Structure 1
């Protein structure tokens, strides 16, 4: 038996300076859909997420709230970040915190290795720093302030004044890796995705790389530099290492070799850290670079990036309390081209919920199962002779499954769902054209009625498998109602790449009443 293909997927680790908004949840859902798909395909899947808890921003937030930074982090992780994962049905295999002992030990080992191999040196540094980004800003992201900040230099991303910092720091010789990085982007065109992100990274590196300041002495909330405890590690150098410390770097070589390298999903605003600094760090340590770095776009509200500070942040439960977690997951994966910016609106969410989930998929499932109950005593009918119309559904199911898997492999989640939805639409059209309710009135059409409903029911079986990574709650209900739990086993155990194989649900399988998958919602005019 062939060894399963490894698939290690990560989200960024999120700052605990505030509670999560739907922009954070968007990244989590995208990673979760990919993880669930690969897991159900039989790949050796590992899904990592977590929180970033060091640095000046966290220290200042904690201080402003009158608590120690670790206490603040503990509070936010338990009250906000971990509950988010349950709220939107995230199936992560691990959750790492940068305050975990395993992480701090791994960072120290990594730093010591780079220092021992002469990739780190001491020096002095003065530059404009953005606490929001936790970054010394490149010239391209420094702009003149306006309004209350007129006459000051501000961060192009946060629109907040920059601070001039002057420190004695330790530096990572990142400039030495410029040519190797450019060669990486050339030799592996899919390393950074989408293409627009790749082009941006190449242009940045071609301008010339400077060495990276990797320590701070102006505050003490961070991991101490192992050879000089008067310095703490720069928060980004610390944070990026979570991807390897979580899978046993320096502690569990077997686990590390099994899992690494990773596929990183990141917001486009942190692309440079993941596509430039991170691979340079790994090269210096003699480790493989990631498989892929995929930069998705921003969620926009009113034309602006989601932001708590600008009061455009929407809490995920504002959506799930009304529409449920499945609709949350489906909407953001279907409505936004993954890799591009996308605008959120309550009107679009409500419209898609009604048209695509309730009327499209949900109503299809309830109609078919209700007709099986009415005409065939609640069991899977026995199909008779196949017509061209039946064959078209069978062939489409195979095509859809294949195309969706290919699109998932390319991180094009929205295109995978669009492909699957072709089967939803085709089955609705098939039932309208075949008119099983009319066939049921003619005893001579009994075999034809059975074939039509068997075809539609088998189509639902395929859809339950294919949509399980996207809408796990609804598909689990459908799978049980189809009787597939008893006939075929748990939905999570079904090989998703074989979802298009026809005739898997046996004739005579007893079925159950299906609760409404997507209930009618009265919106309040949001």
Structure 2
């Protein structure tokens, strides 16, 4: 096992439409966690991509009057652009319909499960939601409708390939109960265990090529069947590492076979696929399980899930352009509780921008660094003994929060330190010392100058700690503030203009 190596993935979204803010939430969560682990000294690979071999993508292309390949390529490009807009430092982006790594890996995964005796053909009739790409039983429906999309599923009857999920019921339960496979938060863990204990049924892992419109990866040895989009899509976590290649790749060895941690970030609506189906497929193929599955809630509008098919999608690209990537990152990470649903409105975003980013964080740095630049103060930036306890407690609170992917708690702890630092500014009153210096007698000047330099050294130490803690969440802001703090330590010209990192809204 490779020490301190982390393979961290987002889900890969359907590209039947442009990205919405719900997926932006998952991206910034993953990026913040990846950056935090890198700062701890971990070797991290952050993986994302687009899920393109889906019937819903084909149907959306037909409605748009486009060929599926051109349609999914255009939308996949928009998802890729979202990474730049949100300052996501991903290592790879895999497209399941066109990346040459993907099909060989899915075919290899299929053959591995087949060799284990876990794939068989069976005729089946059931209720299918194309939006979810999932069969539902009558008991799982809400008033006869899909609980996710609130639409009536269609009746489907055909012969498919099935996976023997029932064979892995005991093994999955043991893995979760012993935390070999950790599901975070505990409430989701309990839901998955309850599902397993109620009994697992084998599930369909193919669709007729006719119903799939000829789109997707054919079942090896059975071209009249297409591999089920979820079996296909889950395989991206391996295909991106070169699982389909004949010789074992270094990436596969480092980030899956020998990785210290293999972690997936997923929305609550796809927990079953990642915490039950995917681990069972891996066990069948003789591959290691994920170590952790972090489950987040939904971004909502008026309490209703944001979704392309719900008609209430919010485009994150113009929001990032108008308010800045870090402002949008901040709102999503702090004001959407990590494991729960949270409402988005522009009004809430602007309230957080004005009341927290400008008034608390921006004001703290501006009033200290503006005086330092004007007075040409250069000090040895250091943490004062008075502040060490508070900073240590904050670091620990952030670490505990990040270990459970509780991003809102981590940022709350950082902003508690911001509040503490603002109080320290009031206590030390550097502006009052500067004001007293000009008319002071020679005998008093030495004492005042000493107090001023000591105050700025201590305040600079607090600012530097805040920047280090903020860096995973607000990377661009942290980089700018680091350059400004360098004025205090003489590492940057003293005449550098201090510009607010969060300008006032028009």
| Distance verdict in 2 for CA 1:417–1:189, change over 3 Å | farther
- Alpha-carbon distance in structure 2 between the residues aligned to 1:508 and 1:187: 51
Which of 73, 87, 90 aligns to 2:88? It is 90
The answer as to 2:236 corresponding to 1:242 is: yes
Which of 181, 206, 217 aligns to 2:197? It is 206
TM-score (norm 2): 0.92
**Residues 62-81 of structure 1 aligned to structure 2 (within 5 Å):** 62-78=61-77, 80-81=78-79
Question: Are the aligned partners of 1:381 and 1:508 in contact in 2 as well (CA < 8 Å)?
Answer: no
| Correspondence for 1:306 | 306
After superposition, the CA RMSD in angstroms is 2.0
- Alpha-carbon distance in structure 2 between the residues aligned to 1:139 and 1:290: 31
Which of 461, 464, 487 aligns to 1:458? It is 461
| Correspondence for 1:514 | 498
Question: Are the aligned partners of 1:201 and 1:276 in contact in 2 as well (CA < 8 Å)?
Answer: yes
Structure 1, unaligned runs of 5 or more: 145-152, 485-504
| Correspondence for 1:494 | none
- Alpha-carbon distance in structure 2 between the residues aligned to 1:470 and 1:408: 11
Structure 2, unaligned runs of 5 or more: 438-444
User: Mean alpha-carbon deviation: is it higher for 21-30 or for 188-197?
Assistant: 188-197
The answer as to 2:452 corresponding to 1:480 is: no
SS of equivalent residue, structure 2 residue 145 = strand
TM-score (norm 1): 0.89
Which of 170, 174, 177 aligns to 2:165? It is 174
Question: Are the aligned partners of 2:373 and 2:498 in contact in 1 as well (CA < 8 Å)?
Answer: no
Question: Are the aligned partners of 1:369 and 1:378 in contact in 2 as well (CA < 8 Å)?
Answer: no
Spell out, residue by residue over 1:156-213, the C-alpha distance to the aligned partner (whole angstroms, 9 max, x if none): 2111121111111111111101111111121118711111111111111111111111
- Alpha-carbon distance in structure 1 between the residues aligned to 2:362 and 2:219: 56
Which of 150, 157, 179 aligns to 1:159? It is 150
Spell out, residue by residue over 1:266-321, the C-alpha distance to the aligned partner (whole angstroms, 9 max, x if none): 11011110001000001111111101111101111111111233322111134223
- Alpha-carbon distance in structure 1 between the residues aligned to 2:161 and 2:67: 26
Q: CA deviation at 1:256?
A: 1.0
SS of equivalent residue, structure 1 residue 154 = coil
| Count of matched residue positions in the alignment of Structure 1 and Structure 2 | 486
| Correspondence for 2:442 | none
- Alpha-carbon distance in structure 2 between the residues aligned to 1:447 and 1:26: 47
SS of equivalent residue, structure 1 residue 64 = helix
Q: CA deviation at 1:381?
A: 5.3
Which of 251, 255, 263 aligns to 1:255? It is 251
Question: Are the aligned partners of 2:327 and 2:353 in contact in 1 as well (CA < 8 Å)?
Answer: yes
The answer as to 2:226 corresponding to 1:232 is: yes
| Correspondence for 1:61 | 60
**Residues 110-509 of structure 1 aligned to structure 2 (within 5 Å):** 110-144=109-143, 153-188=144-179, 191-217=182-208, 218-219=211-212, 220-251=214-245, 252-260=248-256, 262-375=262-375, 377-380=376-379, 390-440=384-434, 441-442=436-437, 443=445, 444-483=447-486
Q: CA deviation at 1:508?
A: 7.3
User: Mean alpha-carbon deviation: is it higher for 214-223 or for 6-15?
Assistant: 214-223
| Distance verdict in 2 for CA 1:433–1:295, change over 3 Å | same
- Alpha-carbon distance in structure 2 between the residues aligned to 1:349 and 1:103: 38
Over 4 Å off, 4+ runs:
505-511
Q: CA deviation at 1:117?
A: 2.2
User: Mean alpha-carbon deviation: is it higher for 203-212 or for 269-278?
Assistant: 203-212
| Distance verdict in 2 for CA 1:507–1:19, change over 3 Å | closer
| Distance verdict in 2 for CA 1:253–1:368, change over 3 Å | same
Q: CA deviation at 1:342?
A: 1.0
Q: CA deviation at 1:43?
A: 0.3
SS of equivalent residue, structure 2 residue 387 = helix
Q: CA deviation at 1:519?
A: 0.7
Q: CA deviation at 1:378?
A: 4.5
Question: Are the aligned partners of 1:224 and 1:231 in contact in 2 as well (CA < 8 Å)?
Answer: yes
SS of equivalent residue, structure 2 residue 223 = strand
| Distance verdict in 2 for CA 1:508–1:449, change over 3 Å | farther
SS of equivalent residue, structure 1 residue 295 = strand
